[in-house]
A and B are shown apart, each in its own frame.
Chain A
Amino acid sequence: QKEVEQNSGPLSVPEGAIASLNCTYSDRGSQSFFWYRQYSGKSPELIMFIYSNGDKEDGRFTAQLNKASQYVSLLIRDSQPSDSATYLCAASGSYIPTFGRGTSLIVHP
């Protein structure tokens, strides 16, 4: 059974701080990893994807992958109230991404 685990939160951070979201996955065959943002009642929106060990930066977002530890993280720098949402981690080994339950992030002014 392929599982992706996330702390459901909520994770509460002040505006301007760094938010750190974490995810672990069970399937060692997973090769692609994704972070999606989902606002309440809306569809998931792709933020970042990462395939290789290490860090990948895109604007205020940095994804980190450690395949040996089966661990993926997302850092959001200079967090804004508009970043308040549920962040979904997904892992894929065969074009079928498996999603975690998501971590609720609250950025308070």
Chain B
Amino acid sequence: EPEVTQTPSHQVTQMGQEVILRCVPISNHLYFYWYRQILGQKVEFLVSFYNNEISEKSEIFDDQFSVERPDGSNFTLKIRSTKLEDSAMYFCASVLGTGELFFGEGSRLTVL
């Protein structure tokens, strides 16, 4: 069964460093998303991506965040200068078109 794959599974970084999280969505899916979940809290929407551009973003997705689809398969989330409060699980998800999100296993980011 096709699945969304994410790397790395866990990244530890120092505050102020740049981090890139990578995702390979399901190949025939149309919409791609990044969500995050701070430990013990709810899954929060960051950004959606359709037709090679951002279609919607939340208040959380400020100037320190960016997304790219550099080669037609990978979908990346970059955090330019990490803060302690960026520590969370980051989930990539994709949708075929009927609305059901399929999530990757997540990338746990720990900022020290």
B-binding residues in A (CB < 8 A): 32, 34, 42-46, 49, 88, 90, 92, 94-102
Contact of B56 among A46, A90, A96 (CB under 8 A): A96
Asked, given contacts A44-B91, A102-B42, whether A97 binds B99 with beta carbons under 8 Å apart, the answer is yes
- A99 vs B44: C-alpha distance when bound (angstroms): 7
Q: Which of B35, B43, B48, B102 is packed against the most chain A CB atoms within 10 Å?
A: B43
State which size class the interface on B falls in: 20 to 34
Residues of chain A within 8 A (CB-CB) of B45 are: 96-98
Contact residues of B: prevailing secondary structure = strand
**Which chain B residues numbered 94 to 109 have a C-beta less than 8 Å away from chain A?**
95, 99-106
Contact B91 A95 (CB under 8 A): no
Q: Which of B58-104 contact A (CB under 8 A)?
A: 89, 91, 95, 99-104
- Which residues of B are found within 8 Å of A101, using beta-carbon distances? 41-42
CB-defined A-B contacts under 8 Å, sample of 9 = A34-B99, A43-B91, A44-B43, A44-B91, A44-B103, A95-B48, A95-B99, A96-B33, A99-B35
- Residues of A contacting B35 in the complex (Cβ-Cβ under 8 angstroms): 99
Question: Which residues of A sit under 8 angstroms from B95, Cβ to Cβ?
Answer: 95
Contact A100 B42 (CB under 8 A): yes
Residue of A nearest to B50 (CB): A95
Q: Which residues of A lie under 8 Å from residue B91 when comparing CB positions?
A: 43-44
CA distance in complex: A98, B35 (Å): 10
**Judging by beta carbons under 8 Å apart, are B100 and A42 in contact?**
no
Q: Which residues of B contact A98 (CB under 8 A)?
A: 45
Residue in B31, B41, B101, B102 whose Cβ sees the most chain A Cβ within 10 Å: B101
Is A45 within 8 A of B99, CB to CB? no
User: Contact between B102 and A46 (Cβ–Cβ < 8 Å)?
Assistant: yes
How long is the Cα–Cα vector from A34 to B103 in the complex, in angstroms? 13
Instruction: Give the nearest-CB partner of B92 in chain A.
Output: A43
